[in-house]
Structure 1
């Protein structure tokens, strides 16, 4: 069987008009606008950072004392209904503590006086109404540093979707206003991009350690705002 090959010059001549037609077609007029949307929701998750610091003459003694105190704190968290998956060790530090005295020659002399051991526990509280009670228990059992609280949401997808819809509606309204002012109208949507802006958790530097013994630490969860920005490209008619 004989195959017939089209001469290269003729193939180029046939392809060229189609390419030329595509190149000659004008790019449709378009407008690019940005839109913003916000939706709020009450938090359903409290994040706590609790630290136990113990000091002793030796690192071993400081660590043993710290272990006992932290074990009591963890047991209290579990007794309050906190699951294992919501308890995580965030860091352990062992640091020497020195006492510095001035020397006659102007220098300083360092004397090792103790070792400090700090164990930090990250806690997720899913029943946020118990946050103050849990803080109070932790302090009573030996937590003496940290106390940072932030309120967030376990699954904010529905709230973000609501913010996204508002952002697109805002972009459409902007595009219509601009197009009307220019004496044209918007056509089909050519492109949409969005950017979620995560809410900064409503954080409190809890005064847990100033609380009176036996009194639950007062906390207020407030609400979280989720913001979305979109960029929409419209065809102009």
Structure 2
């Protein structure tokens, strides 16, 4: 695991702080926001796959999708993807209109399109390329998401939080030195946003036996806002 501190820091030095009792000066504080990140090789992947079929009748389109997605689900089972790691994420059935001007009431319905989307977790990354190739060859005609992550992100999240706090402390010390004041004790710590990067989206139209996939590294980030007193 490798830690990469983020540089993004927002700091304020001044008279911000708890409201002082009447007649007393307000507390002097330094407020710093620090960010941290923990990076490691992922140990699992999440894929979003599905089937879309178009037919002249709504029932025919739905039946075709149900048959093909059933085959994909059965195939996932044979590839070692357990039921707990498979989840339906979307079901749609919509009319397809003729491509001509006019309101929807006036346009001719020429077909119906049905879709069934499924999210699956792949816990064996060595088998990911085979899983992707097999499900596309086995009936899935949509591949709309691939992301990498961690089965147990807790330790990485804690490492990112520690890194964020250390980043905040270092920034606060720098600001205190630059301002010619002495940094006091921590008065409060609050956690704000964090998380991984965006998930790339893609679509496959052609079947292939295996897809080359590189997992690379994934990250977990954390951000904290720390208020220090000024002595």
- Identify which of 124, 132, 135 aligns with 1:135: 132
Q: Report how many residues are paired.
A: 209
| Deviation of 1:68 (Å) | 1.5
Q: What is the CA–CA distance in structure 2 between the aligned matches of 1:127 and 1:98, rounded to whole Å? A: 43
- Identify which of 207, 210, 218 aligns with 2:206: 210
Distance 1:169 1:59, change over 3 A: same
TM-score, length basis structure 1: 0.77
Unaligned runs of 5+ in 2: 1-20
1:49-88 pair list within 5 angstroms = 49-88=48-87
Q: Is the 8 A contact 2:137 2:207 kept in 1?
A: no
Structure 2 counterpart of 1:150? 147
Distance 1:160 1:35, change over 3 A: same
SS of alignment partner, residue 197 of structure 1: coil
Q: What is the CA–CA distance in structure 2 between the aligned matches of 1:125 and 1:211, rounded to whole Å? A: 19
- Identify which of 185, 188, 191 aligns with 1:194: 191
1:1-237 pair list within 5 angstroms = 23-100=22-99, 110-205=107-202, 208-212=204-208, 214=209, 216-237=210-231
| Deviation of 1:84 (Å) | 0.8
SS of alignment partner, residue 210 of structure 1: coil
Distance 1:232 1:86, change over 3 A: same
Q: What is the CA–CA distance in structure 1 between the aligned matches of 2:55 and 2:71, rounded to whole Å? A: 19
| 1:4-40, Cα deviation, whole Å (9 max, x unpaired) | xxxxxxxxxxxxxxxxxx6445444322222221111
Deviating beyond 3 angstroms after TM superposition, the runs of 4 or more aligned structure 1 residues are 22-28, 98-103, 108-113, 208-212
Unaligned runs of 5+ in 1: 1-21
| Deviation of 1:217 (Å) | 0.8
Larger radius of gyration: 1
TM-score, length basis structure 2: 0.79
| 1:190-226, Cα deviation, whole Å (9 max, x unpaired) | 11112131112552525x43354x3x11111222222
Distance 1:183 1:148, change over 3 A: closer
Q: What is the CA–CA distance in structure 2 between the aligned matches of 1:126 and 1:82, rounded to whole Å? A: 8
The alignment yields a C-alpha RMSD, in angstroms, of 2.5
Q: Is the 8 A contact 1:202 1:221 kept in 2?
A: no
Q: What is the CA–CA distance in structure 2 between the aligned matches of 1:112 and 1:189, rounded to whole Å? A: 67
Q: What is the CA–CA distance in structure 1 between the aligned matches of 2:180 and 2:25, rounded to whole Å? A: 20
